[in-house]
Amino acid sequence: MSAPASPLEAPAQDAETAGLSALQIEVAHKLIGLIRAGRWSVGERISDAGLAREFAISRTPVRQVLQYLVARGFLAQHARGFTLARAIEDFDVAEDLFPPSGGEQLYRQVLQARASGRIGAETTEAELLELLDAPRSAIRRTLTRLSSEGLAERREGHGWRFTECLDNTQSVNESYAFRAIIECGAIQEDTFRPDPAELAALEAEQRILLGVALEDLQGSAWFEANARFHETLVSWSQNRFLVRAIQLQNNLRRMTEYTEFTALTETGLRRAARDHLAILQAVRLGDRKLAAALLVRHLSRVKTEPDLLD
């Protein structure tokens, strides 16, 4: 009998033939993105309950995805739960096990079309149907998601209105000024308490960005890593109003920065990662005044240097 195929040689259509739902496929891509970003090391426990809270869904689809990856040899399951069984590099192949998430693709298409001006400030489902190759139900779900993120709202009577894009110098400068107030204020809060596991995960993620070649980095992965850095930093303030404010800013940036990724240079990528690591080191040492000062310097540099996006 021939030896079974290596998990790393599994065909890309396996997830479809296994009957995974669109939600499970989306969960798989999010999970693999976190693994590739260095959230866990080999042998470290992955909490299905924690992921369910982070993804704002029930534990069932999360466990099904984890069990699927166990069956393919990428994770291990023990009495205490799931652990990472393979090196981070192997998960480049793991992502190929799952077809693209249709909902996520459509969401990004809408954001990019709005950022490029192909969609105006106001639109209708009928206009989007003509522009995008997607069913009305999928477009409606995407618009509902944009509404929940504060990026679009229903117009009275008919159609949708998008939130203002960060597509001009004044709005971008105002956004950086607002972020400096919110993020530095969060660090100075008496309730600021960094989570050790999250701090280590952010440091690992930024070290990967410090060493990765620009041509091997996807714009979405780069943006999500930086958005996660800033949102997690603010979340340590334990102030839900500050967290909501930075989440909205990240959503506004998401509209344009996937498109602007082409302006990022190798030098800018390294500089941003080094800035983030310096801020995290100050947080680790308990020097919040230094962390806030480094953050102000970082946001000021990003505002004035076109190849340094964040």
Report the pLDDT value the prediction gives residue 102, as an integer from 0 to 100.
67
Among the candidates 113, 131, 162, a domain finishes at 162
Question: What tokens were used for 150?
Answer: 């504060």
Give the range with max mean pLDDT: 30-34, 121-125, 153-157, 224-228. Answer: 121-125
Domain that holds residue 112: 102-162
Query: Is it the case that residue 89 has pLDDT exceeding 80?
Result: no
CATH code, domain carrying 261: 1.20.120.530
Report the pLDDT value the prediction gives residue 5, as an integer from 0 to 100.
36
The model's pTM is 0.65
Q: Cα separation of 247 and 37, whole Å?
A: 20
pLDDT in tens, 70-84: 998 999 998 878 999
Cα 5–Cα 9–Cα 10 angle in degrees, nearest 5: 85
Among the candidates 162, 183, 204, a domain finishes at 162
Q: What's the total number of domains in the chain?
A: 3
Q: Are residues 282 and 216 in the same domain?
A: yes
pLDDT > 70 fraction of the chain, expressed in percent and rounded:
85
Please report, to the nearest 10 degrees, the dihedral formed by the alpha carbons of residues 114, 115, 118, 122 taken in order.
40
Assigned domain for 85 exists = yes
Closest among 218, 280, 200 to 38, alpha carbons compared: 200
Do residues 47 and 198 touch, judged by C-beta distance below 8 A? Answer: no
